[in-house]
């Protein structure tokens, strides 16, 4: 089935926040933010700014009726700075004017006097000064300290991965409209309408019931709008509350890049021990997460780094500790993979390091230690449906790994200016919010009296196709034409207390809630049909809009049945509720079953490095991915391609730079490079693994949003291998992204 948004996307008719027709009298906001990364406000002078044409008001923390607090996990972040400044771009005041341009012009006239303190930008430096978001967490299995004695080989090193800008095409924004009796309606480009509603209620000192948040779709979120869409919506609502006028707010690209957090940079130490026959006996690592100036989602992201710190390998003795380090950068946040990629990069770096020292291909180590059915992970969950060994075998045969290895050797022997490298990257990614209570969702399904159907859920459509999948669920349950079904906007008045659409769970959780609601409606309809035929409801079914009895078509159609049921006063509306069974987690011992299931897959990446220029091309990425029983292969393959390229960007060219004063240097698209059509792999081949799926996935179609991002990690190690083929002396401590500059240095460095 086609993505239901494809036609309106292609014809430019899809409605995003900035396309919503504005009401007469709408005002526009721009944020005045901290020019320094660390310090204190001495004085603020708005006199000149207020004199600028069109300026209506300048809002500060003093205008807040409720709490000046937006922290989601910990209450450690002010909406508008009161005195202390913790990062460059931290909001201080909101300028409201008749036009957007007037708001921008006026904010330049604000005068700030401040005292500046030394900024911390480095995670290890923060940890050394005990500047932490929370106490460290440690995952333990077996006994590493004893295990080192049993190791034949031990290697120690360091692995660093940098942040990543979300670069959603649609920047952050919101539009708040005051309604009667001090109620407010907010249109927001958010993955979490309930977070917007909850935080805004707290800041404005009104009830959540006074606020309606509505989301049609996002032009991308990638985690960047899981938590960080909220402040802008709250500021717009604050303006609407104070001025009794609609207030609209869309960040321009530079403001968005400067003011919002990104993927967390990680800096880690590792120690890996192997037996003589290359089994991993022990793995120890310490990760330093650069959280930025406030907690945001960092504690949960740190957790996922720990969960995925051994990636796809069985390691009997592990001890991994992670520090969430408080620095003077914008608070870093969710980004596709949510700390998982950072955790996996460390173990992959350790394996590549060991393989180099042992002079064997890394894949031999990876393969030898691959997770298999029943293996217990460091957090206590056992591998179920563990098809990674089968996936590995399939890939090796299908794409003839042996010949790729031989061809690479031959090419490298015959070429001095170009070198090839390849790598394998297995992925094992847990599906569920690691905070168990978040794994719930609701769906409100109406069957209208003409037989058409409206569905509201808590899921946010951000390009990943969740609405199409939910629609497919209803089509399957009712066996009606897709044209009869409409996916409504996501609205807190129709579906309350939603979890963010995140953790790749959007289709599973909201799809299951929809399935439950549709099945309840179907049961009522069958009863109604059975009554009119004088038969048992169990013998009734619906196929292609025709009602069947004992497998034989009757002359009753879907619309006739709905008409009849309505006249019989049958309830044609249902609210489905789903909460993931089985899962639980005990943080005090760091053990439990946090995930409903795991998604598995493997990528084979081949690259060619130009050893004169340091440039490289990704020749091919061949993937075997566990989709379960894919509901929509077109959407799912698209998710794999998009995630792969996003992962490659993180590992190769996307380079976030702050200076020592915490100023973002890569704040434009001329200084921050993301993959374009010329830099994507020349060939991407995706195949589905033979997989049973799982009952925890919607109609056995496994979650797909995040796991394939981690295939991109393979590119890093393929490039490293090619560089080493040219310069065997290159030390190449793992430090992503592997930019062209770093490749060039590696090619010609002699240590």
Cβ count near 387 (within 10 Å): 21
By the rule CB under 6 A, 594 interacts with ligand MOS: no
- Least separation, in Å, of the C-beta of 53 and ligand MOS? 40
By the rule CB under 6 A, 503 interacts with ligand MOS: yes
Among ligand MTE, ligand MOS, ligand LUZ, none, the one that 231 touches (CB under a kind-dependent 5 to 8 A) is: none
Cβ count near 552 (within 10 Å): 7
Choose between 27 and 431: whose C-beta lies nearer to ligand MOS: 431
3-state secondary structure 348-387: HHHHHHHHHHHCCCHHHHHHHCECCCCCECCCCCECCCCC
- Least separation, in Å, of the C-beta of 94 and ligand LUZ? 27
Q: Which of 77, 348, 606, 706 is catalytic?
A: 706
- Least separation, in Å, of the C-beta of 212 and ligand LUZ? 23
Choose between 505 and 580: whose C-beta lies nearer to ligand MTE: 505
Can you tell me the distance from the alpha carbon of 368 to that of 364, in angstroms, rounded to the nearest whole number?
6
* # residues contacting ligand MOS (CB under 6 A): 11
Choose between 264 and 367: whose C-beta lies nearer to ligand MOS: 264
Choose between 705 and 737: whose C-beta lies nearer to ligand LUZ: 705
By the rule CB under 6 A, 502 interacts with ligand MOS: yes
Among 39, 157, 223, 386, binds ligand MOS (CB under 6 A): 223
Among 304, 419, 442, 724, binds ligand LUZ (CB under 6 A): 304
By the rule CB under 6 A, 502 interacts with ligand MTE: yes
- Least separation, in Å, of the C-beta of 420 and ligand MTE? 31
Q: Are strands 280-292 and 317-326 parallel, antiparallel or unpaired?
A: parallel
Q: Are strands 184-188 and 211-215 parallel, antiparallel or unpaired?
A: parallel
Count the residues in the chain.
751
Show contacts with ligand MTE in window 142-201 (CB under 6 A).
none
Choose between 431 and 495: whose C-beta lies nearer to ligand MOS: 431
Cβ count near 310 (within 10 Å): 26
Choose between 58 and 583: whose C-beta lies nearer to ligand LUZ: 583
Peptide bond into 475 cis (omega under 30): no
What is the SS3 assignment for 60?
coil
- Spatial CB neighbours of 124, under 8 Å, sequence gap ≥ 6: 267, 288, 325
Instruction: Pick the closest to residue 262 from 351, 327, 183, 215 (CA basis).
Output: 327
By the rule CB under 6 A, 643 interacts with ligand MOS: no
Choose between 49 and 703: whose C-beta lies nearer to ligand MOS: 703
Burial of 12 (0-12, 13-18, 19+ CB in 10 A): exposed
Among 427, 470, 503, 547, binds ligand MTE (CB under 6 A): 503
- Least separation, in Å, of the C-beta of 298 and ligand MOS? 13
For the chain, counts of helices (H) and of strands (E) = 19, 30
List phi, psi (to 5°) of 490. Answer: -85, 120
Chain residue at closest Cβ approach to ligand LUZ: 338
Are residues 177 and 210 in contact, defined by beta-carbon separation less than 8 angstroms?
no
Among 200, 366, 464, 468, binds ligand MTE (CB under 6 A): 464
Among 165, 170, 212, 226, binds ligand MOS (CB under 6 A): 226
By the rule CB under 6 A, 300 interacts with ligand LUZ: yes
250 backbone φψ class: left, alpha, beta (φ>0; ψ -120 to 50) = beta
606 is catalytic: no
Among ligand MOS, ligand MTE, ligand LUZ, none, the one that 507 touches (CB under a kind-dependent 5 to 8 A) is: ligand MTE
Which stretch in 181-189, 280-288, 432-440, 646-654 sits in contact with ligand LUZ by CB under 6 A?
432-440
By the rule CB under 6 A, 222 interacts with ligand MTE: yes
Q: In what order do the strands lie in the sheet with 317-326?
A: 137-141, 317-326, 280-292, 266-274, 153-161, 734-736
Q: Are strands 597-610 and 616-625 parallel, antiparallel or unpaired?
A: antiparallel
What's the distance, CA 532 to chain centroid?
A: 50
By the rule CB under 6 A, 335 interacts with ligand MOS: yes
Among 288, 338, 418, 595, binds ligand MOS (CB under 6 A): 338
Among 287, 370, 462, 698, binds ligand MTE (CB under 6 A): 462
HSE (CB half, 13 Å, CA atoms) of 661? 9
Can you tell me the distance from the alpha carbon of 309 to that of 307, in angstroms, rounded to the nearest whole number?
6
Binding to ligand MOS by CB under 6 A, coded x per residue (else -) over 686-705, reads --------------------
Choose between 270 and 650: whose C-beta lies nearer to ligand MTE: 650
Can you tell me the distance from the alpha carbon of 687 to that of 623, in angstroms, rounded to the nearest whole number?
6
Burial of 477 (0-12, 13-18, 19+ CB in 10 A): buried
**Residues lying near ligand MTE in the complex (CB under 6 A):** 220-223, 336, 462-464, 466, 501-507, 639, 642, 703, 705-706
Contact residues toward ligand MOS (CB under 6 A) are: 191, 221, 223, 226, 334-336, 338, 502-503, 706
User: Which residues contact ligand LUZ (rule: CB under 6 A)?
Assistant: 297, 300, 304, 334, 338, 433-435, 502-503
Catalytic residues: 706
């Amino acid at each position: 089935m086609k993505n239901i948004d494809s036609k309106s996307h292609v014809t430019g008719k899809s409605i995003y926040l900035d396309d919503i027709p504005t009401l007469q009298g709408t005002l526009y906001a721009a944020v005045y933010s901290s020019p320094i990364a660390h310090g204190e406000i001495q004085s603020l002078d708005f006199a000149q700014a207020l004199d600028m044409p069109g300026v209506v008001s300048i809002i500060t923390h003093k205008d807040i009726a409720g709490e000046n607090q937006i922290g989601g996990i910990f209450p450690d972040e002010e909406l508008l700075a009161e005195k202390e400044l913790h990062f460059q771009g931290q909001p201080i005041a909101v300028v409201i004017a008749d036009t957007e341009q007037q708001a921008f012009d006026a904010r330049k006239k604000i005068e700030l006097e401040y005292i500046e303190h030394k900024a911390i930008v480095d995670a290890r430096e923060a940890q050394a000064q005990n500047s932490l978001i929370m106490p460290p967490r440690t995952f333990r299995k077996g006994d590493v300290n004893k295990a080192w004695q049993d190791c034949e080989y031990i290697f120690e090193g360091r692995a660093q991965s940098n942040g990543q800008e979300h670069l959603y095409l649609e920047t952050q924004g919101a539009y708040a409209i005051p309604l009667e009796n001090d109620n407010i309606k907010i249109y927001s480009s958010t993955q979490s309408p309930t977070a917007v509603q909850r935080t805004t209620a707290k800041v404005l000192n009104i009830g959540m019931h006074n606020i309606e948040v509505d989301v049609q779709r996002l032009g991308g979120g990638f985690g960047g709008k899981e938590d960080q869409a909220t402040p802008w919506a709250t500021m717009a609502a604050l303006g609407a509350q104070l001025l009794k006028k609609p207030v609209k707010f869309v960040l321009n690209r530079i403001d968005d890049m400067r003011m919002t957090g990104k993927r967390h940079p990680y800096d880690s130490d590792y120690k890996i021990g192997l037996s003589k026959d290359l089994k991993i006996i022990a793995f120890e690592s310490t990760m330093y997460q650069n959280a930025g100036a406030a907690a945001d989602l960092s504690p949960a992201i740190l957790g996922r780094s720990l969960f995925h710190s051994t990636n796809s390998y069985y390691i009997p003795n592990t001890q991994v500790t992670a520090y969430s380090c408080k620095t003077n950068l914008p608070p870093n946040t969710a980004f596709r993979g949510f700390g998982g990629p950072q955790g996996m990069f460390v173990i992959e770096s350790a394996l590549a390091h060991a393989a180099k020292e042992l002079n064997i291909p890394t894949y031999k180590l990876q393969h030898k230690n691959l997770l298999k059915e029943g293996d217990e992970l460091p957090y206590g969950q056992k591998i179920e449906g563990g098809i990674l060994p089968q996936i590995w075998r399939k890939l090796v045969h299908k794409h003839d790994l042996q010949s790729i290895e031989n061809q690479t050797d031959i090419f490298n022997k015959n070429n001095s200016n170009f070198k090839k490298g390849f790598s394998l990257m297995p992925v094992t990614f847990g599906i569920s919010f690691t905070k168990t209570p978040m794994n719930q969702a609701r769906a409100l399904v109406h069957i209208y009296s003409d037989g058409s159907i409206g569905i509201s859920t808590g899921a946010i459509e951000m390009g990943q196709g969740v609405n199409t999948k939910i629609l497919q669920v209803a089509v399957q349950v009712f066996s009606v034409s897709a044209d009869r079904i409409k996916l409504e906007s996501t609205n807190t008045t129709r579906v309350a207390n939603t979890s963010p659409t995140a953790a790749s769970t959007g289709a599973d959780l909201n799809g299951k809630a929809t399935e439950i609601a549709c099945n309840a409606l179907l049961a009522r309809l069958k009863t109604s049909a059975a009554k009119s035929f004088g038969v048992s409801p169990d013998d009734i079914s619906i196929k292609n809009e025709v009602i069947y009895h004992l497998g034989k078509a009757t002359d009753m159609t879907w619309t006739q049945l709905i008409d009849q049921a309505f006249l019989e006063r049958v309830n044609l509306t249902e609210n489905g509720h789903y909460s993931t069974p089985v899962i639980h987690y005990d943080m005090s011992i760091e053990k439990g079953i946090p995930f409903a299931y795991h998604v598995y897959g493997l990528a084979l990446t081949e690259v060619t490095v130009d050893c004169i220029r340091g440039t490289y091309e990704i020749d091919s990425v061949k993937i075997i991915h566990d989709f379960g029983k894919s509901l929509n292969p077109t959407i799912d393959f698209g998710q794999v391609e998009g995630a792969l390229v996003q992962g490659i960007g993180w590992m190769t060219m996307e380079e976030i730079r702050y200076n020592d004063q915490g100023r973002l240097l890569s704040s434009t698209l001329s200084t921050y490079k993301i993959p374009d059509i010329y830099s994507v792999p020349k060939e991407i081949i995706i195949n589905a693994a033979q997989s049973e799926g799982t009952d925890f996935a919607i109609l056995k179609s496994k979650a797909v949003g995040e796991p394939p991002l981690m295939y991109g990690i393979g590119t890093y190690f393929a490039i490293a291998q090619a560089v080493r083929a040219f310069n065997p002396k290159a030390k190449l401590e793992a430090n992503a992204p592997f930019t062209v500059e770093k490749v060039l240095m590696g090619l010609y460095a002699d240590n």
